[in-house]
Chains A and B, each alone.
Chain A
Amino acid sequence: MDYNVIVDNLPLYLEGLWVTIQLVVIALVSGFGLAVPLALMAVSKISFISYPAKAYIYFFRGTPLLVQMFLLYYGMGQFEAIRESVFWMLFKEAYWCSIIAFALNTAGYTAEILRGSIEQTPFGETEASYACGMSKFTMYRRIILPGSFRRALPAYGNEVIFMLHGSALAGVITIVDLFGAAKIVNSRYFVPFESFITAGFFYLCCTFCIVWFFKWVEKHWYKHLRPRTS
């Protein structure tokens, strides 16, 4: 094991870490924004509305993230119309391609989690809000969505960790994230063991941070469920 190489290249790894954090955070935020309407569509009783959302969820949960990313990064260039449109600005950049792929992917998974937790809303809560004279929109805003976010929290924590792990795929399409940094170090000095283990160590730290963060949020959101201590 040669640790000097790692110490010398620490700035590169930190840059990669920063890119990884950017990728994950942007993808998660926009993916979540997309997931809420998708989940609402999927629980709709009108099949005309629910089927497109269900098809979306099925596609993005049923295919590998790597394939989705390749479809966007390598595939989009096949179409003349896209190459000449303004979107080409996005699709020719590996950075944006991977963010779009991650966001669409995590939207599918998050929508499925939310769909499950919306359907688990106790019927009494819905009934009570109708009895209070709430409109459907107010009911969703005040009763159903807050409750289902809370129920979705543990599963969503796992999804965030999966997104972090999935973000390593960005390194495959030339982005210098943590994995990309490890690839560069490996190709420069040919130290595969040290370079990739260092990246793995950074990912491990990120995972622990996410786990701790979600434990902390759970502690606050589940305050009313904790057994009372005297």
Chain B
Amino acid sequence: MILEGMVLTIEVALLSLLIAVILGLFGAIAKLSKSRIARGIATVYTTLIRGIPDLVLMTIIFYGGQIQVNNLGDLLGWDYIDISPFIAGTLTIGFIFGAYMTETFRGGILAVSKGEIEAAHAFGMKRWQVFMRITLPLMIRHALPGFGNNWMVLAKTTALVSVIGLHDMLYNAGVAGGATRQPFTFYLVVALMYLCITGISDIGLRWVNRRFSVGVRTV
């Protein structure tokens, strides 16, 4: 039962990571763009998200979003839409960590040396091509440590989805612990599972980091 929950936890984590990376990329581009509106929106986004606790954001989106969507639905004549905890949880976590990713990616892009981007422009690449072929691959190396940290925090944040009623590891452990009157044992198992997830990602991230830093000479 806890293993089932773990599968769900990992699903939530990976899906929200995907959302976070996409949002983070757009956010970073917006923050570095020349357009003042794009910069403003991105700044408001990152400041708001990083200033409000994730649990509060999750309840705003889960409870509040439900009502807003259905208000909108009434106007447009849709049927009643039920936002499942899974969707709300994944979207919120992705939305929150998109803000953190924005900062990480922004730092990574700024760390790419100007000469390489200028060279790409000199080759006659379009701006989109420069970004896809030069900036993005080079930025990954600089952004990886921050990305790794964000992923670790994200994996741990998934525990919050149990609060909005999703049957993840923690929720199932609570049920099992209540039924057997051994809550400590079950919560400890969950804690160890999380340690496994973070431990394995730590090893994985180190490996990826080595791969991406092949060309870098260190002491």
**Are A203 and B56 in contact, CB atoms less than 8 angstroms apart?**
yes
Could you tell me the distance between the alpha carbons of A76 and B157 in the complex, rounded to whole angstroms? Answer: 23
Inter-subunit contact A204/B170 (CB<8 Å): no
- Tell whether B199 is near chain A: CB-to-CB under 8 Å: yes
Interface residues of B in 6-51 (CB under 8 A from A): 48, 50-51
| 8 Å CB contact of A192 from B59, B158, B182 | B59
**Separation of A179 and B181 alpha carbons in the complex (Å):** 29
- Is B194 in contact with A67, judged by CB distance below 8 angstroms? yes
Q: Known contacts A59-B195, A63-B194; decide if A199 and B56 are in contact (CB<8 Å).
A: yes
Give the contact-size bracket for chain A: 35 or more
CA distance A84 to B184 in the complex (A): 17
> Within residues 189 to 217 of chain A, which ones have a CB less than 8 A from any CB in chain B?
192-193, 196-197, 199-200, 203-204, 207-208
Question: A67 near B191 (CB under 8 angstroms)?
Answer: yes
Assuming the A-B contacts A63-B156, A64-B156, A168-B56, are A74 and B64 also in contact, with contact meaning beta carbons closer than 8 angstroms in the complex? no
Within 8 A of A (CB), among B79-138: none
Beta-carbon nearest neighbor of B183 in chain A: A74
Report whether A74 and B53 are in contact in the complex, using a CB–CB cutoff of 8 Å.
no
Chain B window 162-198, contacts with chain A (Cβ cutoff 8 Å), 1 for yes, 0 for no: 1100000010001001000111110110110011001
> Does residue A77 face the partner (Cβ distance < 8 Å to B)?
yes
Which chain A residue shows the least CB distance to B191? A63
B191 in contact with A165 (CB, 8 Å): no
**B1 within 8 A of partner (CB):** no
Taking CB atoms, residues of chain B closer than 8 Å to A71 are 184, 187-188, 191
A62 to B193, CA, bound (A): 10
Number of A-B contacts (CB under 8 A): 120
Cβ–Cβ contact B64 & A192, under 8 A: yes
Shortest Cβ distance from residue B215 to the other chain A in the assembled complex, whole angstroms: 27
**How far does the alpha carbon of A105 sit from the alpha carbon of B50 in the complex, in Å?**
20
Tell yes or no: A78 within 8 A of B by CB. Answer: yes
Q: A62-B199, A186-B63, A196-B64 are in contact. Are A68 and B56 (CB under 8 A)?
A: no
The answer for the CA separation of A76 and B195 in the assembled complex, in Å, is 20
- Report if B76 contacts A (CB, 8 A): no
- The answer to the question of B52 belonging to the interface, with a C-beta cut-off of 8 Å to chain A, is yes
Main secondary structure of the interface of B (DSSP, over half): helix
A63–B183 CB distance below 8 A: no
A76 to B53, CA, bound (A): 27
Q: Are B60 and A193 in contact (CB under 8 A)?
A: yes
Query: A63-B156, A196-B63 known; A70 and B53 CB under 8 Å?
Result: no
In angstroms, how far is the closest chain B Cβ from the Cβ of A53?
17
**Do residues A204 and B51 form an inter-chain contact, with CB atoms below 8 A?**
yes
Closest A residue by C-beta to B64: A193
A67 near B187: Cβ-Cβ < 8 Å: yes
Query: Given A75-B183, A76-B184, A196–B53 Cβ distance below 8 Å?
Result: no
Which residue of chain B lies nearest to A194 when distances are taken between CB atoms in the complex? B64
Q: Which of B52, B67, B159 has the most CB of A within 10 A?
A: B52
In the complex, are the beta carbons of A192 and B60 less than 8 A apart?
yes
| A79 CB-CB contact with B under 8 Å | yes
Residue of A nearest to B57 (CB): A200
Choose from A78, A172, A186 the contact partner of B183 (Cβ within 8 Å). Answer: A78
Contacts of B194 in A (CB 8 A): 62-64, 67
Give chain A nearest CB distance to B77 CB in angstroms. Answer: 22
Is A166 among interface residues, defined by CB-CB distance under 8 A?
A: yes
Does B213 sit at the interface, judged by CB under 8 A?
A: no
Quick check: is A182 within 8 A (CB to CB) of the other chain? yes
| With known contacts A179-B53, A179-B56, A199-B56, A74–B156 Cβ distance under 8 A | no
> Quick check: B51 and A208 within 8 Å, CB to CB?
yes
Q: Judge if B160 is at the interface, Cβ distance under 8 Å.
A: yes
> Known interface pairs A59-B191, A62-B198, A66-B160. Does A168 touch B53 (Cβ–Cβ under 8 Å)?
yes
Known: A193-B64, A197-B60. A203 touches B187 (CB 8 A): no
Other than the given A59-B191, A70-B170, 8 more pairs (CB < 8 A) read A63-B156, A66-B162, A165-B53, A168-B55, A196-B56, A200-B52, A200-B56, A200-B60
